[in-house]
Structure 1
C-alpha cells in the first residue's frame, strides 16, 4: 500500500478547494460532501517516523478519526520509546519513565492508564528516607543520621527554589543576575541565603549544605545532566513538581503502550525500520520516507518523532531538502540529558539489612565533579558513587534495589565495567549501613540511552543557549499549502516538556493538525 511505485493520487489543498467550489455551484448534497471528505481521509497516506509514545499516540488519534492509511516506522525491534520495562529479579524495572502523575487532561498518560482494562495500577506510598553521613575508613565506620525535622525543613525550602523562588523579582529589580546564569548558580546562591537565615550553628549549616547538595543531585538525576548546563528558564517555564502519590504499574509501564497499539496491525506498525532519508518537499509534490533496508514509503504527511539526540546528530543529512535554519538552530540549542538507572538483584530478601531508603551525604569539596577532570579514569573510579542520589527498595520487590544517580558523569557511568560498578557500589552500601556483611548483588540491570544509536540520549532540557522559543520552532510544521512535515515528541511540547505526558500530547497535537487541515476544506 505504501510503496512509492504504487502511490495513489490524493487530494491536495488546491484540489480540495476546487472540489468544494464545484460542489457548491452544482448544488451537491451534504451526503456527497461528507463522502468526499471521508474518502480523502481514508486515502491520505501518513507516515510516522518513530514508534515511541508520541508516534503511537498520533497514530491512534488518526485511526480514530478515519485516517486508515497511517503507518508507523520504528527503528528498533521494540516500540514504546523511552517507556522500557524489563523483567528483572522478582519484579519489573523501568529503564525509562517510571511514574505517572495524576492528570485530568484527555491527552495525559493518566487518562490512558485509567481507561486500560485489566491493568493493575497502584499509588506510590511514602517511603522512609534516611540521610546518612558516614565517617571512617570502611572498617570501623560510624553512621550519622540527619534529624528528620531538619530534612523536612530543607525539603520545603528546596521545593520553593524549584518553583522559581524570587526569580521574577530578581529579573525585575536587576539585582544579583549572575545567580541566574544557570540552575546550579541559582540553587547555590539562594540556598546559601536560606541556610544563613534558617540555621545558626556552624555544624547545622554544614549538614544543611550537604542536604541541599543531595537535593540538587536529585533534580539533576531527573534531567540526566549537570545543572550548570541548564537554563534558569527550565525552572520557571516547566518546573519539576513531583506528585506526592504518583501512579506506577507493578507489571511494567509498557503495558500501557498496548492500549495504543491494539488497533494497529503489522502493516501499520513496522519495527526494525531505521529511517535513512525523509524527502519532505519535491517539485513533483511527492514526499517519501526511505529506510536503511532500501524500502520507500510515499506520504502526503510525515510526522517526525525522532529523539532530540538523533536529530542533533543526523538532522543535517536526514532531511531532503535541509530543514530551515531556524529549526536546525533550535535542535542545536536545546539540551538533552542521559538519566542513568541501575537495578541490583540479591539472592536473599534485602529487608534483612536495608530497613529504609538511603541518601548518602558527601563532603562538599568532593560533591560536584570538576569539568577539567571529569573524563579521567582515575577520578571517575574514585568519585562516581558520590553522584548517587538514593538507594531504594522497589515497592513491588523483596530482592531488587534501585540506584539513582545525579550530579554528573552520566555518560561515563553508563560505560563503566560491571565488575567495577558492583565493587564500588557495594563498598559504599556497606559504609552507609556500617555493615561489612552486606552481600554482593547476583545480577545487575542498567540503562544505556546514550550509547543506543536509536536514542543517543534521554530527556531534553533547556540548555543555557536555549529558550522556549526553540521549543516552538522545533514544533512548527513545514509545508506550503499543507502541513507536509510535522514534528512531535517531548522536546516539542511546552506543557509537559521532557515528560511522557508531553510526548503523548504532542503526538495527538500533530495528528489533530492533519485532521483540521482536511476538515477546514469542508464546511456544512
Structure 2
C-alpha cells in the first residue's frame, strides 16, 4: 500500500510537470522533454539523483548505465550476522538544506532513522585506562585543528610554513606545541602524544589515505569532521537508494553495462558504447564515474580526449580508500567487551621495543560494537596499508585482530569470529578507491575544472560526483547535490533556449 501510494504521488507529479498551465507551456520545451536522449554513466548516488530529477521534470528518455550488477555506488549495505553493515557511507549529517542526503532520508516514508548516541571509547595504554578528562581535552583541541585553527594566522605572520606542506605536518606541529604547553609530566606527554596519534589515524580513516598526501587546503576549504550526532538507518542506508529507483523501469536503469567509450563530440549526436557491444546515442551525457576510474581510464575512455585542464584536474585530485572491517561472533560479544576500545602504544605493536614489525593492526583506531547488534564488531582502521589489508588472507587477518583483542581486554579466551566482512573499494575495477581528497598538488580550482561541462553550443558532457563539489566535498551530500545540479543544468538549457529562441 505504501509503495503504491508513493508511485501514485510520483505519477501525479510527473503529470503535473507535463500538464503545466497554458501560460507556462512551451512547445519547444515539451518537445525537448519527449525527444531529448540523456545517458547517465554510473548508478551511484549522483547518477540516480540526476536521473530521478530529469524524470521528475519530464525528460523520459533518460537511461542509466551501471557497470556492476548493483546500484547505489558507495552506499553498499550488507546483511551480516544479526544486523546490517555499511561497507561504504554510513552516517547522514542532519542538514535541512535543499538536495541534501538528510532531505532525501527524511522524505523516505516508513524508514526507521536513529541518532547516533554518544559513545566515549576507552583509550588503553599498556593495559591501563587513560584519564577521560585528558581524552576529552585533547579531542576538543583536535577538533579545532580539523577546522584549520591557526592556519590563516600562521600564513599572515609568515611563521613555520613548512608545517603547512601537508595535513600531517600541520597536525604534528600543532599537537607538539599543545603537548608542550599543556602537559608537564613525561608520562602525560607520552599519553597525550599517543591520543593525538590515534585521532590522526581516525582522520585518515575517513579519507582512506596517509595524511602526508593531503593538502592543508582540504581542511580550510572542505573541513573533514565527523558529526557528533549524525543519523543512521538500522536496516541499511540502501533503503534510501531503493526509494530513488522505485519509479524507474529496466530500460531506464540498466546494470551489468560497463562503458568502454564515450563519444562526446562532434555535435549533434553523441554516444556511449558498452563493452558488450551495445551503443546508446545521446544529446547529453552525465558522467558520474568514480575519480579512481577516471584516473586510470580517462585517457582511453573519452573520444576525443578530454581537454588538458580537465585531465590535469583528474590527475591532481587525490583518491583514497576508506576501509571497513566487520567481525561476527557466535555468542554475544558483551560477555567480554564492555564498550568501544582505542588501543595505543605497545598494545598495537608488542614487538616495537625489540624490532618494529610491519603489521596492519598498528593502524587500528577503534574496535566497537555495531549499534543494534549483539554479535558484530566493527574495526576502524586508519593511517595506511588499506590496499594491503584488502588483500590479506582471511585467516591471517582474523589471527592478528583476535590477538589484538585479547591483549586489549586481557583475556586469552576471546573467541575467533565466525565470519569476516570487509570492503574492497581499491581492488574493485569499477571503483579503484572510495573517496576523493585534496592532494598536495591540487587546489580547489581542480574541483571546479572537473565539474565544468563540455560542449560548444550545449552542455554535451557533464560531470557529477562527490569530487565535483566543494560544498561537502567527498561526501554523499556532494554526490547527491552534484547529480541534481547537472540534471538541472540540462533542464535550464532547454528553458533558456525556449525563452530566448
Give yes or no for the alignment of 1:307 onto 2:290.
yes
Aligned counterparts, 1:434-473, within 5 A = 434-473=410-449
Could you tell me whether the CA contact under 8 Å between 1:225 and 1:337 is conserved in 2? yes
Could you tell me whether the CA contact under 8 Å between 2:347 and 2:408 is conserved in 1? no
Match of 2:337 among 342, 349, 354: 354
CA distance in 2: counterparts of 1:345 and 1:364, whole angstroms: 22
What residue number does 2:55 align with?
63
Match of 1:129 among 97, 121, 128: 121
Q: 1:33 to 1:127 in 2, by over 3 A?
A: closer
> Per-residue displacement from partner, 1:391-429 (whole Å, max 9, x unpaired)?
000011000000010011111111111010000000010
What residue number does 2:14 align with?
none
> TM-score when scaled to structure 2?
0.93
Match of 1:159 among 134, 143, 165: 143
Secondary structure of residue in 2 paired with 1:438: coil
Could you tell me whether the CA contact under 8 Å between 1:474 and 1:492 is conserved in 2? yes
CA distance in 1: counterparts of 2:359 and 2:383, whole angstroms: 11
What residue number does 2:281 align with?
298
| Offset of residue 363 of structure 1 | 5.1
Give yes or no for the alignment of 1:145 onto 2:96.
no
Q: 1:65 to 1:157 in 2, by over 3 A?
A: same
What residue number does 2:481 align with?
505
What residue number does 2:452 align with?
476
Secondary structure of residue in 1 paired with 2:378: strand
CA distance in 1: counterparts of 2:317 and 2:224, whole angstroms: 17
Give yes or no for the alignment of 1:107 onto 2:99.
yes
> Per-residue displacement from partner, 1:364-383 (whole Å, max 9, x unpaired)?
9979x9xxxxxxxx987x42
Aligned counterparts, 1:219-234, within 5 A = 219-234=203-218
Give yes or no for the alignment of 1:235 onto 2:240.
no
What residue number does 2:231 align with?
247
Match of 2:308 among 325, 349, 372: 325
CA distance in 1: counterparts of 2:24 and 2:385, whole angstroms: 63
> Per-residue displacement from partner, 1:303-338 (whole Å, max 9, x unpaired)?
000000000000000000000000000000000011
Which protein is bigger by CA-based radius of gyration? 1
Could you tell me whether the CA contact under 8 Å between 2:50 and 2:483 is conserved in 1? yes
CA distance in 1: counterparts of 2:372 and 2:493, whole angstroms: 46
What residue number does 1:116 align with?
108
Could you tell me whether the CA contact under 8 Å between 1:183 and 1:227 is conserved in 2? yes
Secondary structure of residue in 2 paired with 1:523: helix
Secondary structure of residue in 1 paired with 2:359: helix
CA distance in 1: counterparts of 2:90 and 2:459, whole angstroms: 34
> Per-residue displacement from partner, 1:4-36 (whole Å, max 9, x unpaired)?
xxxxxxxxxxxxxxxxxxxxxxxxx97696133
What residue number does 1:139 align with?
none
CA distance in 2: counterparts of 1:440 and 1:451, whole angstroms: 26
> Per-residue displacement from partner, 1:98-131 (whole Å, max 9, x unpaired)?
0001001121110101000111111111123100
CA distance in 2: counterparts of 1:98 and 1:241, whole angstroms: 14
CA distance in 2: counterparts of 1:277 and 1:83, whole angstroms: 26
| Offset of residue 522 of structure 1 | 2.3
Could you tell me whether the CA contact under 8 Å between 2:322 and 2:434 is conserved in 1? yes
Structure 1: unaligned runs, 5 residues or longer = 1-28, 135-142, 370-377
What residue number does 2:403 align with?
427
> Per-residue displacement from partner, 1:191-227 (whole Å, max 9, x unpaired)?
0000111111111001000000000000000000000
Secondary structure of residue in 1 paired with 2:498: coil
What residue number does 1:44 align with?
36
- Give RMSD over aligned pairs: 1.8
Paired residue total: 477
What residue number does 2:15 align with?
none
Give yes or no for the alignment of 1:215 onto 2:199.
yes
> Per-residue displacement from partner, 1:224-263 (whole Å, max 9, x unpaired)?
0000000000010111122221100001100010121011
Q: 1:364 to 1:235 in 2, by over 3 A?
A: farther
What residue number does 1:16 align with?
none
Secondary structure of residue in 2 paired with 1:521: helix
What residue number does 1:342 align with?
325
Could you tell me whether the CA contact under 8 Å between 2:28 and 2:498 is conserved in 1? no
Secondary structure of residue in 1 paired with 2:488: helix
> Per-residue displacement from partner, 1:253-290 (whole Å, max 9, x unpaired)?
000101210111110000000000000002x5220000
What residue number does 1:195 align with?
179
CA distance in 2: counterparts of 1:66 and 1:32, whole angstroms: 15
Give yes or no for the alignment of 1:96 onto 2:85.
no
